[in-house]
């Protein structure tokens, strides 16, 4: 019974294909004879992706294998800085040229040379990961049509990443870059009128 059904289905599909082929041949003959002119395909309209008007962009790295405490100090060092300056700070720390100053987590941390510098280290691994997140934020800002020359690090935060599956120290890094607003010219202050003193 099952074999008969299968054969019947195969015959139906064969008939369909044959009918399609026959129609196609008829259309081709009609075109050659000039009875039916061949229609030109309509050009497809290009769909433009409208990008939202925003003033900031975000970059994020999750479960990065770095110390959350050291990440706090590195994020503090680049927060509020222009993009080029923030890159220079991180690259100098990676190249062991300029240390990152520690403000909070500085127990048993030696002081580095420099007038009034204080405790600090060269967090190479942390700086590499945070530099990657920063570049990700800048790339997102460029995609959203923000001016890369006007960008600065608005927010740089870190938090401890807790996972039951993964053991060890992990951190989530979030960096938000934004365009600097142009300072409005201060209105000229009008001279105050002197009060007349009645005699």
> Would you write out the chain's pLDDT as a tens digit for each of its 199 residues?
456 767 777 787 888 888 888 888 888 877 777 655 555 566 776 666 666 677 899 999 999 999 999 999 999 999 999 999 999 999 999 999 999 989 888 887 777 776 667 888 899 999 999 999 999 999 999 998 898 889 999 999 999 988 767 777 899 999 999 998 876 544 455 556 666 555 5
Enumerate residues 6+ apart whose C-beta is below 8 A from 58.
137, 140, 174, 175, 176
pLDDT for 199 equals 52
Rounded to 5 degrees, φ, ψ at 24 are -65, -40
CA 125 and chain centroid, separation: 21
Global pTM reads 0.64
Alpha-carbon torsion (14, 20, 23, 29), positive or negative: negative
pLDDT for 183 equals 61
pLDDT for 197 equals 56
How far is 128 from 126, CA to CA, in rounded Å? 5
- Between 1.10.10.370, 3.30.70.1450, 3.90.470.10, 2.60.40.1120, what CATH number should domain 56-179 receive? 3.90.470.10
- Say if residues 136 and 59 touch (Cβ distance below 8 Å): yes
């Amino acid at each position: 019974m099952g074999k008969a059904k299968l054969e019947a289905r195969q015959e139906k599909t064969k008939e369909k294909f044959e009918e399609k082929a026959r129609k196609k041949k008829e259309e081709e003959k009609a075109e050659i004879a000039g009875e039916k002119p061949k229609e030109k395909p309509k050009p497809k309209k290009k769909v433009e992706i409208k990008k939202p008007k925003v003033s900031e962009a975000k970059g994020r790295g999750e479960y990065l294998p770095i110390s959350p405490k050291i990440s706090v100090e590195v994020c503090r060092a680049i927060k509020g800085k222009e993009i080029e300056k923030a890159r220079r700070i991180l690259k100098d720390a990676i190249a062991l040229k300029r240390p990152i100053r520690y403000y909070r987590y500085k127990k048993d941390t030696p002081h580095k040379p420099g007038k009034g510098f204080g405790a600090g280290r060269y967090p190479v691994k942390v700086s590499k990961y945070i530099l990657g997140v920063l570049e990700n934020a800048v790339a997102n800002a460029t995609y959203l049509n923000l001016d890369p020359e006007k960008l600065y690090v608005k927010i740089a935060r870190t938090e401890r990443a807790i996972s039951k599956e993964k053991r060890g120290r992990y951190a989530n890094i979030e960096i938000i870059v934004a365009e600097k607003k142009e300072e409005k010219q201060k209105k000229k202050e009008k001279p105050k009128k002197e009060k007349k003193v009645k005699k």
